[in-house]
Amino acid sequence: MAVPLSYSIRSLLTRRLTTVLTAGGMALVVFVFAAVLMLAEGLEKTLVQTGSSDNLLILRKGATSEVDSAIELDRAAAIESLPGIAADDLGRPLLAKEVVVLITMDKKGGGSSNVTVRGIDRQSLALRPQVNIVRGRMPRFGVREMLVGQSLVRRFQGLDIGSTLSGTLEDWRVVGVMDAGNTAFNSEIWADAEQVMQSFRREAYSLVIFRLEEDAPLDEIATIVENDPRLILQAMIESNFYREQSEMMARFLRVLGITLTVIFSLGAVIGAMITMYSAVANRTGEIGTLRALGFRRRAILLSFLAESLFLGLAGGCAGLFFASFMQFITISTLNFQSFSELAFRFTLTPVILIQSLVFALVMGFIGGVLPAFRASRMQIVDALRTS
């Protein structure tokens, strides 16, 4: 027969300060564990949501980011004759030739960073339905006007509607603010591609993007693009491209976070061990009594293990509770791969929830297993005598 679970729970409640401190230590570890995974998840999610699986992105062969790429005007024109390009209601092809450059801008809190400027085409907005204009208007084509992502307005100086940039970009004016949700576009500046190319003295586009027709022969298109010796280009689905853009940094965050929490968890596990050893020592008499009543060694073992698992669970829940508030926080930093500023939000997913709870339970288990064995090994007579 098993010792009732309520015995384990009540034992924890009796010594409140100890329970709170031990679970608190584990809660902090779980908090860091969950927060770092949420950060990596947020980064990935932001970039994955940026791309659409219906769009095909064409870059120069070998380019690892949009900024690295260059597609000469004649090559870009050749792409327009590819098969499988969808058209809008008016029959115009849903294709955009864009140019992407980086400019250094000053942040509000001091310091500066690289901001992506995307020179857009007439169909660019139609290809990215995630983008909504929330204030002002769309920049006109043929004029030096800019549409600015919401995350940028919050973090960089001088991007309010009506303001003009200084330095090389003197005559550029902000006319609108766009909300692109949790996507990289929220950290970009959009303006007419022709104007951007003139202003930055670029003679080539960076990329060509188009909407694929339903059941478009994807493999065939990719083969045409990649095998044409005149083109030297590569084609990929937009969402895959953006997923790759997050890979390096997300991996860095995960490795850093997991290494740290494993080290931190040593401290919390030792804390649980101290608590459980002392619980066993203080309750020697009780253990003797339980054994005398007929509970088996295994029941005692499981009972103390359950107590320790409850400690871990309490810590895990508390840690997750506080970590869930991190979802309100947005972080903005330079993405190594695109070399430009990117804002993203801590994102909690069911997978992270489960991973964190399992992690907490593992800590409780490791902390409790040795003390529980000690408790189960006690001789009835000795245990009863000590009290």
Binding site for other proteins (CB under 8 A): 17-18, 21-22, 24-25, 28-29, 31-32, 36, 39, 60-65, 67-68, 101-104, 110-114, 167-169, 200-201, 203, 232, 248, 256, 260, 263-264, 266-268, 270-271, 273-275, 277-278, 282, 331-334, 339, 341
Residue 77 beta carbon to other proteins: minimum distance, rounded to whole angstroms: 18
Q: Which CB sits closer to other proteins, 39 or 153?
A: 39
Residue 310 beta carbon to other proteins: minimum distance, rounded to whole angstroms: 16
Residue 102 beta carbon to other proteins: minimum distance, rounded to whole angstroms: 5
Q: Which CB sits closer to other proteins, 217 or 267?
A: 267
Q: In whole angstroms, what is the distance from residue 249 CA to residue 62 CA? A: 20
Q: Which CB sits closer to other proteins, 194 or 244?
A: 244
Q: Which CB sits closer to other proteins, 143 or 266?
A: 266
Residue 151 beta carbon to other proteins: minimum distance, rounded to whole angstroms: 13
Q: Which CB sits closer to other proteins, 282 or 327?
A: 282
Residue 185 beta carbon to other proteins: minimum distance, rounded to whole angstroms: 19
Residue 386 beta carbon to other proteins: minimum distance, rounded to whole angstroms: 11
Residue 124 beta carbon to other proteins: minimum distance, rounded to whole angstroms: 21
Residue 299 beta carbon to other proteins: minimum distance, rounded to whole angstroms: 25
Q: In whole angstroms, what is the distance from residue 312 CA to residue 272 CA? A: 8
Q: Which CB sits closer to other proteins, 132 or 387?
A: 387
Q: In whole angstroms, what is the distance from residue 292 CA to residue 257 CA? A: 48
55-60 and 112-120: which strand pairing? unpaired
SS (H, E, C) the chain: CCCCHHHHHHHHHHCHHHHHHHHHHHHHHHHHHHHHHHHHHHHHHHHHHHCCCCEEEEEECCCCCCCCCCEEHHHHHHHCCCCCECECCCCCECEEEEEEEEEEEEECCCCEEEEEEEEECCCHHHHCCCCEEEEECCCCCCCCEEEEEHHHHHHECCCCCCCECCHHHCCCEEEEEEECCCCHHHHEEEEEHHHHHHHCCCCEECEEEEEECCCCCHHHHHHHHHHCCCCCEEEEEHHHHHHHHHHHHHHHHHHHHHHHHHHHHHHHHHHHHHHHHHHHHHCHHHHHHHHHCCCCHHHHHHHHHHHHHHHHHHHHHHHHHHHHHHHHCEEEEEECCCCEEEEEECCCCHHHHHHHHHHHHHHHHHHHHHHHHHHHHCCHHHHHHHC
Report yes or no: 164 and 170 within 8 Å, Cβ to Cβ: yes
Q: Which CB sits closer to other proteins, 94 or 348?
A: 348
Report yes or no: 336 and 249 within 8 Å, Cβ to Cβ: yes
Residue 214 beta carbon to other proteins: minimum distance, rounded to whole angstroms: 33
Q: Which CB sits closer to other proteins, 327 or 333?
A: 333
Q: Which CB sits closer to other proteins, 101 or 383?
A: 101
Residue 380 beta carbon to other proteins: minimum distance, rounded to whole angstroms: 21
Structure tokens at 218: 């994807």
Q: Which CB sits closer to other proteins, 60 or 128?
A: 60
